[in-house]
Structure 1
Amino acid sequence: MITNNSNMASFMIIGFPGLLPQYYGPVSALLFLIYLTIAMGNIFILAFVAHERSLQKPTYLVFCHLALNDLTFGTVTLPKIISKYWFDDSIISFYGCFAQMFFVHYLGSVTSFILLVMALDRFIAICIPLRYPVLITNNIISVLCGFAWFIPLPLMVAVVLYVLTLSFCKSNTIAQCYCDHISLTRQACGENVKIVEVTSLCVAMFCLLVPLAFILFSYTSIIVIIMKMSNAAGRKRTLSTCTPQIFITCLFYLPRCFVYVANTVGFSFSLDVRILLILLYSLFPAAVNPIIYCFKTKDIKQMLIRRLKKTKIGIVIKLS
């Protein structure tokens, strides 16, 4: 049975501790702009693929799952920090903070598994292309993406319930732009805190490193296959089919690896810089991914150009 001995009713989101009050307005406006970019970009991708039957292929279905994940992540994290700087509303309820923590880590884990599905799609398409129409269909991709959404669910529920067993007897301030595991466990006390931290770290490593291992294997195999091609045009064409996936994967993993390696070698960041880095690597991919879909994916780019031309011709005819 989950019991909690804390009398804490709410937490206070601090955001950037060193930010001066005169910058609250510009920062909230910037965060609101980022949220609009995330919302509009990812809703556009979902609507565009749903509307264009020719784009309803396995690769683009994976893009849709990732777009839905990015949209949800932005919606879960940004409104509260925007209201903190815009309306001076920094209070989040005790269980509201835990709900936000759950979605932050759950959606991050789902992203990792969706990137694994994306890598699998490209691995089969390039390394065993003759088997691709049989092994990768819309139904199979939907099932694989379903697993990507389901696998982290019980793990993250267990992590949240485990953290809820702790007593919170320190400050109720969250030195972060949203509630996350590290910020919450730092406010806990008792001999079980270390055990909870280690258990949660093991779950996080499983959700991040297991998909990453397969992703590295997949793209390494793809690059080896491409380098063995004798035709330069064929190499370029084949590489172009997986560059969007490589860009998206790098945006998700590289900043996280950089922060981890920097901390491991003893390079410390100030609290504000650390919070900014976490915010950037959490939200920047969600804002940029739709642009990568549109400009680095041949089918989507061609379909967009075709639609824009039709719209332009229609406007010209109406004006005439």
Structure 2
Amino acid sequence: MTNQTVISELILVGFPGIPEELHNLVSAVMFLVYVFSLTANGCVICLVMLNAYLYQPMYLIIANLATSDLLFDTVTLPKLIARYWFGSSSINFKVCVFQMFCVHYLGSLDSYLLMLMAVDRYVAISQPLRYTLIITNKKIVGICAILWIFVATSTNATISIQASEIVLCGPSGNKINTLFCTHAAISALACTDTTYMRKVAFVSAMVVLLVSLGVILLSYILIIVEISTSSRSENWQKAIYTCTTHLLVVALYYVPRVFVYIVYNIPVIIIKPDITALLLFLYSVIPHMANPIIYFLRTKEIRQTLVKFKRMKHRVGHGLSC
């Protein structure tokens, strides 16, 4: 400890191994990704909030998911863009911890919202006549509010407070070799042993992921059992149409995330930093871009709402021109 320099500024590496001549291209791509995610998720939120026809339980959950994704990208991508566009790679340690909290908080929130969506779909298919009594807008709003508060005050807050007290060592131990600040990246730079803290963070993450994934899988198993005992062919069509949208989102979110969490914590397996950064981008940012597209293309009510808005805009424009 006496020969080590305590540091308060970190260096955000981003994508390790990318040559400097490609920095402008990377920043341009990241900027387009951010603008697209901001626009697409913003449209979903506005459509649900401004159209009374979409003020239904499933769409309220979708709006909450879009809000979480939009906030996640806003917390992470601007700094990554600045790192490549302007060479602004330094980040204050306290700011890094705050970003870490937001990353894990919003990631956990996404898991719970996807779980809630699966339960909603199960009730809609298994209890179609009682659905409006069991699942109401008031209940969904209340559950979503509890999730936003609970996730913020659960293990994520404790882990973030502990991380803020970590003493980092320099001069070479101040590089975050990934796209944004995470608990694993920060704890790896500590002067002291953080094995216990990392185990707690890993167990917490796996509990959130596996519990929510377990509920999702159970919901769809029950849905399959429900529709397999039904002789009505429209039940199959409704289930396939409704559930494939959600399953696409679940696959994009969970498959690479669970893989990385497990592999990263197996000592005998070493993943190169550039591969880790790429996987992090694939399971953190890509789903936020894909989710609005999937909902726009697969959800009939949202498409109909878009068509109505387009016709209304055309009528208004035509009336002004006259």
- TM-score between the two structures when normalised by the length of structure 1: 0.92
SS of equivalent residue, structure 1 residue 176: coil
Alignment RMSD: 2.1
Corresponding residue of 2:185: 183
**One-letter identity of the residue aligned with 2:124:** A
Write out aligned runs for 1:87-236 (5 A).
87-154=86-153, 155-170=155-170, 171-191=173-193, 193-236=194-237
CA distance in 2, matches of 1:242, 1:22: 44
The alpha-carbon distance between structure 1 residues 315 and 127, as it changes in their structure 2 partners (threshold 3 A), is: same
Say if 1:167 and 1:189, in contact at 8 Å, map to a contact too.
yes
Say if 1:226 and 1:239, in contact at 8 Å, map to a contact too.
no
CA distance in 2, matches of 1:279, 1:266: 24
How many angstroms does 1:127 deviate by? 1.6
How many angstroms does 1:258 deviate by? 3.6
CA distance in 2, matches of 1:311, 1:163: 50
CA distance in 2, matches of 1:164, 1:309: 52
CA distance in 2, matches of 1:172, 1:259: 23
CA distance in 1, matches of 2:320, 2:145: 45
Corresponding residue of 2:10: 11
How many angstroms does 1:6 deviate by? 7.8
Say if 1:152 and 1:207, in contact at 8 Å, map to a contact too.
no
The gaps in structure 2 that reach 5 residues or longer are none
CA distance in 2, matches of 1:189, 1:265: 20
Number of aligned residue pairs: 315
CA distance in 1, matches of 2:150, 2:319: 53
Say if 2:8 and 2:168, in contact at 8 Å, map to a contact too.
no
Corresponding residue of 1:73: 72
Say if 1:6 and 1:167, in contact at 8 Å, map to a contact too.
no
CA distance in 1, matches of 2:203, 2:235: 42
**One-letter identity of the residue aligned with 1:152:** V
Corresponding residue of 2:286: 284
SS of equivalent residue, structure 1 residue 92: strand
The alpha-carbon distance between structure 1 residues 269 and 195, as it changes in their structure 2 partners (threshold 3 A), is: closer
- TM-score between the two structures when normalised by the length of structure 2: 0.91
How many angstroms does 1:7 deviate by? 2.8
How many angstroms does 1:315 deviate by? 5.0
Which shows bigger deviation, 105-114 or 216-225?
A: 216-225
CA distance in 2, matches of 1:173, 1:265: 21
CA distance in 2, matches of 1:285, 1:135: 30
How many angstroms does 1:124 deviate by? 1.0
Percent identical residues: 35
CA distance in 1, matches of 2:248, 2:307: 22
